[in-house]
Structure 1
Amino acid sequence: MILMLSMMIIKIHKEKRLNLSNRLSNAKSDSPCAKPEEPLPEEESSKYYDLDTFDESILIRNKNIREYKQSEENVGSQDDNFDNNIDQYKDDDENDEDEIDNDSKMEESVSTNINSIQDEKGTDQNAMEGIDLSAWNQFNLSPIIMNELKSLGFNKPTPIQAKTLHFSLSGRDVIGAAETGSGKTLAFGIPILEYIFKKVKDSNQLVGLILTPTRELAMQIRDHLQHISKNSLIKIITIVGGMSTQKQQRLLSKHPNIIVATPGRLWELFSENDAYLSNLRRIKFLVLDEADRMLEIGHFEELNHILTVLSRTRNNTNEWAENDIKEKECTYELTPRQTFVYSATLNNKLKEDLKRKKYKSKKINKESTGTMTELMHRLEFNDSNPIFLDITPEDAVAETLQESKIDCLTKEKDIYTYYFITRYPGRTLIFVNSIDCIRRLIPVIKLLNIDVFGLHAQMQQRQRLKNLDRFKQNPKAVMIASDVAARGLDIPLVEHVIHYQLPRSSDIYVHRSGRTARSRKEGVSLMLCSPEELSLYQKLCLKLNKVDGLADFPVDRGILNSMKQRINLARQIDQDEHKMQKMNHDNDWLKKTAQEFEIDLDDEEIVNDSNRGNQKQIKEKIRSMKLELKSLLSQPLIPRGVSTKYLTSGIVRDLADRLLDESSHNSAILGVKNTKATDDLRSKKKTIPL
């Protein structure tokens, strides 16, 4: 009897477990789990715009264009899916099956959406009919390119495009130097697309290779070229790190026309495949964008291998055929190849050599290894006299950029940073030189109720793009970044750049500052200069031809003093929380070690009385300080000269009127008008006697 009861109980439990398991499996099927270990979906990168050609006025229109393009691809017009999306996070074999199924199942359901989107596009085109494209007529471009230029609102070429397109469209090699945001992407992209439209008959021919130093820049170039060639069958893919190698190999097997790549991943995929290397040697166009950064450690080794494979005279340049690169016999006739080299910064010595054509006759010695001079030798220009065009301004930065500095102690940089982002709320990029500094600053600024994000090379690619997207969507957000963000980031409308730590070279300063004041819009580049950085500051001014240095940024000391208590509290909270984390980490380590040696520990052995008391005190201290900081942050800052008892007393006599006019005053600082940093800096310059 007992045995039968036991069996019945066991049976009931099994049924309950089975039901629970089914419920859990159904829940999982309804809402799939996140898979952070799998490669980043490149779909996220399509949300960004190319910084070199970004225009705020076409932001909404570009969104409609992307939606229209995506709908067309779902119908099956480009079923090969060359937009490099991997947003399903499934195995590669499953992705292939899904692509086929989606094409057959979604055709009818999407057709109505396409019609509505086409209506929107038609309305948008009607609004754009007034755009005059006569400035482009001189280049005799294909109708597809002209139509897309019109739809994107590019009514005339930028200076770098106007000066280079005549030469590049006629087959000349071009070396171009132009400031950031000047439209270099179209300067080299249009000639490649134009060649494919007019001269390429084989739709599977690899025509162009575009090399970039960063993943984000590669994705942005791809997106922009796809916009310009949207209504064609041109296939453009990206080959970059942080993505699925299987997906990229499958895309390569479908014979793209243009590859936009970073040197590392490209060499990883191509080095073991003779067919890929053979196709690489047949390319018609080679582009190096941000060429000077290609020479940095981590880029040049793979670039060296790629240039060796692309070399037309390898038999005569054995010194370049090193690092175990196998020489392969060439059984085909090499076609002429156009080479485009673009950068925002070139050193003055190289500029002089390029202007005088001296770089071709110079011998490469050990001192020149890994320099732009060596790179010019390695590229083997097909043109005996490549065109060099330099349109960078004398001061190397945009004319609309306001440059300034604040002299302060190292320990005061946090206060001045908090002052600036509170006094002038707006999309702000803060550059530092170390990842440790990013990790220290972010929690402090977060404690002050400011939306802040981080970006550095040790972050996963998924997190990098998510932080970029959040930063882009918030017009008052702050991003603290290393120099990985100095180039190639697609962040629209950055108003301010703060150099929390001074850049190590003038080139880095130019690229950092180039994140703002783009597309003829105004921006501020602010240096926080400590006494320890004075010699570096002087060297930067010398390199940038700033003989008199940078203007001092106007600071309201009354507001600054009232911020010190907040900053000190946030710092102390962060330090104490770090102590708590260290104690917990030590305890976890002790538990793990004891478990490995199969030793049982009591709680008293893990945390002794003194540590337990310290933890309790620190927790109580942190809680108290957070309450105090919360109370301070709930109230507006009170600048010097404002009376908290009587509105009409004190220096600011019209305080009552200011408080009533909330729209034009800073809500975080009592009685202070909302002004732009550019305007305050400009007005200060006017008051300085000559």
Structure 2
Amino acid sequence: MYRKILTFKEAEEGSYLAEWSNLKCLVVDETDRMVEEGYFSELTDILNKIHEAADKEKLQTLVFSATLTFAKAQDVAEEEKKKAKELSAHQKIQRLIKLTGLRENKHKVIDLTRQMGTAGCLVEARINCGNLVEKDTALVYLLNRYPGRTMVFVNSVDAARRLHHILNAINIDPMILHAKMIQKQRLRNLEKFAESKNAVLIATDVAARGLDIQGIDHVIHYQVPKKVEIYIHRSGRTARASHRGLTVVLVDPQSRQFYMKLCKGLNRMQDLDIFPIDFEPLMIAIKKRVRLASEIDSLEFRCKKIKMSESWFEKAAREADLDYDETRSREMGGLNLEVDEMIRKSRQLQSQLRSELSAPLPRSDGSDSMRTKYITAEIVSRLRAVGDNAIDVLNQKIEDTKEWKRKNRKATKTDEMNSMKKSLKNSQKNKDRLAEKQRQAKMVKFSMANSLDDNK
């Protein structure tokens, strides 16, 4: 990106990159991203140069952005940064107009942003996870239960590498994309991802914008984004051009605060719907594999860290022409024993994992457990009843929950009515008993009065 900007800035006179007088249309995309990343100082020079050379009356400037917010204002005082965070939507647009050189009084603003920020065809959900193993299990469950072209977003390169290693260990072959990869490898992985209908791409936020890959079915936020804008752009990789798409946020205790902040920023009065785990046998089988793969990854990471520490110390000692003292030699020997023990344990776990992987996973339609010679209408109906579309399954679960709540409210109301009727009935009985006692008391009193009169 920076090299491309320098190409424009350092274009020699006579070069087509230095001639802007005949420019008819200028398009600036992802403006807020350029401001956040600090590219705007160079971009400002280019835009100023274009507006100085071009015919302003004939030049049409188009500015696009899905999130017109400036999270990090560049080259301003701290007080102005704080004020920038509190800008209204109108103020943000006015600032954008000034930064991009639009005509002050002849511009048009077309705002297609929904109140909730995300696309109208996007279906959103969450899965609550108690710990890291549960989160890994939920991810693998989604990938197995609902195949399709899926992007999995993480917040860091280390998280992407860890997840890539674990998925590879359980025979899922994902692509990976992050900022520390060379451009050629990034493009190769994107091509592979776009070619397969059931591909998985693990990516950092370097892939959250600017990618228009057709037919992405699911976006999974393995780690909750810390900004609303990032969530909107990540989720925008699916549900494009009026097609349906699903985005699922995996929420663990550590990310709960960011999830609550996300809901508030999206103007959500309620939590996202919980995505259903509708086939427990598959979840249990996957959890065993994920736990083993996670333990193997942890052991290998610790071994690698110890070996890297040893290599650094040996290199430093060799360059300084120093010999190990007895204490350091014992430390090294102890570390080597620890590494050997971890390698031994890792091999045991790998053997257990291979055993688990040799057995097929349970099928969600139950066809692997059927024992029958003939296919009946009942079996066909049963197989068709199991949905394999994640959005349809979620919507059905939401409808079932609404129906259950409606019936529950109706049952509660009926119980309350019956309780009230019973209470009224008991109250009436008590009144009747009291009236009867009073009537009998009057009769006794009257009888006693008559008896006294007769005695006289």
Q: TM-score scaled by structure 1?
A: 0.49
1:442-461 to structure 2, matched below 5 A, reads: 442-461=164-183
Q: How does 1:3-18 map to 2 (within 5 A)?
A: none
Partner of 1:593: 316
Is 1:633 the counterpart of 2:357? The answer is yes
2:64 maps to what in 1? 342
- The corresponding residue for 1:386 is 107
Match of 1:426 among 119, 128, 148: 148
Aligned length: 378
Unaligned 5+ runs, structure 1 = 1-240, 242-263, 313-329, 349-364, 648-654
Q: Which one has the largest radius of gyration?
A: 2
Which residue of structure 1 lines up, in the alignment, with residue 210 of structure 2? 488
Mapped pair 1:396 → 2:117: yes
| Shift, 1:565, TM fit | 2.0
Q: Give the C-alpha shift of residue 415 in structure 1.
A: 1.5
CA distance in 2, matches of 1:552, 1:442: 26
**Aligned pair in 2 of structure 1 residues 659, 271: CA closer, same or farther (>3 Å)?**
farther
Measure the CA separation in 2 of the matches of 1:509 and 1:621.
39
Q: Which residue of 1 aligns with 2:298?
A: 575
The 5 A counterparts of 1:495-644 are 495-556=217-278, 557-597=280-320, 608-638=332-362
Q: CA deviation at 1:657?
A: 5.7
- Take 2:268 and 2:372, find their aligned partners in 1: how far apart are those partners? 42
Q: For residue 5 of structure 2, what is the aligned residue in structure 1? A: 267
Report the equivalent of 2:31: 291
In 2 relative to 1, CA 310–410 (structure 1 residues): closer, same or farther, beyond 3 Å? farther
Query: Structure 1's 523 and 539: CA in aligned 2 closer, same or farther, altered over 3 A?
Result: same
Query: Shift of residue 623 of structure 1?
Result: 1.7
- Amino acid in structure 2 at the alignment position of 1:415: T
Q: Distance in 1 between matches of 2:330 and 2:59?
A: 69
CA contact (8 A) 1:430 1:480 kept: yes
How far is the alpha carbon of 1:620 from its aligned partner?
2.3
SS across alignment from 2:117: coil
- Give the letter for the 2:117 counterpart: A
Change (3 A) 1:639 1:468: closer
Structure 2 Cα separation of the partners of residues 398 and 559 of structure 1: 32
Alignment partner for residue 371 of structure 2, among 656, 665, 672?
A: 656
Aligned residue type for 2:19: N
- After superposition, what is the alpha-carbon deviation per residue over 1:152-193, rounded to whole angstroms, capped at 9, x for unaligned? xxxxxxxxxxxxxxxxxxxxxxxxxxxxxxxxxxxxxxxxxx
Gaps of 5+ in 2: 71-79, 407-456
> How far off is 1:687 after superposition?
0.8
Q: Which amino acid is the alignment partner of residue 344 of structure 2?
A: E
Cα deviation 1:537-568 (Å, max 9, x = unaligned): 33333333332332111113443233322111
Deviation at 1:527, TM superposition (A): 1.0
Q: CA deviation at 1:673?
A: 4.9
Deviation at 1:311, TM superposition (A): 4.6
Counterpart of 1:462 (choices 173, 184, 190) is 184
Q: Equivalents in 2 of 1:514, 1:473: separation in Å? A: 20
Give runs of aligned pairs for residues 10-409 of structure 1, distance below 5 A.
241=1, 264-273=2-11, 275=13, 278-280=18-20, 283-312=23-52, 336-346=58-68, 367-368=83-84, 373-382=94-103, 384-409=105-130
CA spacing shift, 1:612–1:538, aligned 2, 3 Å? closer
Secondary structure of 1:389's partner? Answer: coil
- Corresponding letter in the other structure for 1:269: T
Q: CA deviation at 1:635?
A: 0.9
1:255-276 residue CA offsets vs partner (Å, 9 max, x unmatched): xxxxxxxxx3343123334525
Amino acid at match of 1:583: I
Q: For residue 183 of structure 1, what is the aligned residue in structure 2?
A: none
Residues 550 and 338 (structure 1 numbering): CA distance in 2 closer, same or farther, change over 3 Å? same
In 2 relative to 1, CA 611–538 (structure 1 residues): closer, same or farther, beyond 3 Å?
closer
**Which structure features the higher share of helix residues?**
2
Distance 1:660-1:503 versus aligned 2 partners, 3 A rule: farther
Name the counterpart of 1:437.
159
The offset of 1:333, in angstroms, is: 7.5
Shift of 1:382: 4.3
In 2: Cα distance, 1:410 partner to 1:301 partner? 43
Can you list the C-alpha shifts for 1:211-232, whole angstroms capped at 9, x where unaligned? xxxxxxxxxxxxxxxxxxxxxx
Partner-residue secondary structure (3-state), 2:125: strand
**Percent identity of the aligned residues?**
36
Q: Structure 1 CA distance, aligned partners of 2:174 and 2:116?
A: 31
Q: Is the 8 A contact 1:431 1:497 kept in 2?
A: yes
Cα RMSD for the two superposed structures? 3.8
Following superposition, the deviation at residue 599 of structure 1 comes to 6.5
- Alpha-carbon contact 2:21-2:55 (below 8 Å) kept: no
- Counterparts in 2 of 1:620 and 1:659: CA distance versus 1, 3 Å: farther
1:433–1:503 contact (8 Å) kept in structure 2: yes
Residue 357 of structure 2 aligns with an amino acid whose one-letter code is L
For residues 373 and 156 of structure 2, the distance between their equivalents in structure 1, rounded to whole angstroms, comes to 42
Q: What's 1:153 paired with?
A: none
Quick check: 1:562–1:639 contact (8 Å CA) kept in 2? no
Q: One-letter code of the match for 1:549?
A: D
Give a deviation string over 1:607-630, Cα, whole Å, max 9, x none.
Answer: 954344333332222222111101
Distance 1:597 1:558 in 2: 59
**1:413-435 Cα shifts (integer Å, max 9, x gaps):** 11211111121122211112222
Maintained 8 Å contact 1:311/1:379? no
Distance 2:204 2:374 in 1: 39
Alpha-carbon contact 2:97-2:103 (below 8 Å) kept? no
SS in 2 for 1:390: coil
1:419 counterpart SS class: helix
CA change 1:393–1:335 in 2 (3 A) is closer
Residues 307 and 378 in structure 1, CA contact (< 8 A), matched pair in contact too: no
For the 8 Å contact 1:587–1:607, the answer to whether it is kept is no
1:597 CA displacement: 4.1
CA contact (8 A) 2:220 2:250 kept: yes
Q: How far 1:485 moved relative to its partner?
A: 1.0
CA contact 2:97–2:104 (8 Å) conserved in 1: no
Contact 1:587 1:606 in 2 (8 A): no
| Closer, same or farther: CA 642–273 of 1 in aligned 2, 3 Å | closer
Q: Is contact 1:407-1:530 (8 Å) kept?
A: yes
1:688 match: secondary structure: helix
Q: Deviations over 1:447-497 (max 9, x none)?
A: 111011221222211121122122222322221211111111142211111
Contact 1:401 1:525 in 2 (8 A): yes
Alignment correspondent of 2:426: none
Matched to 1:551, the amino acid is D
| Mapped partners of 1:310, 1:269: distance in 2 | 14
CA contact (8 A) 1:590 1:606 kept: no
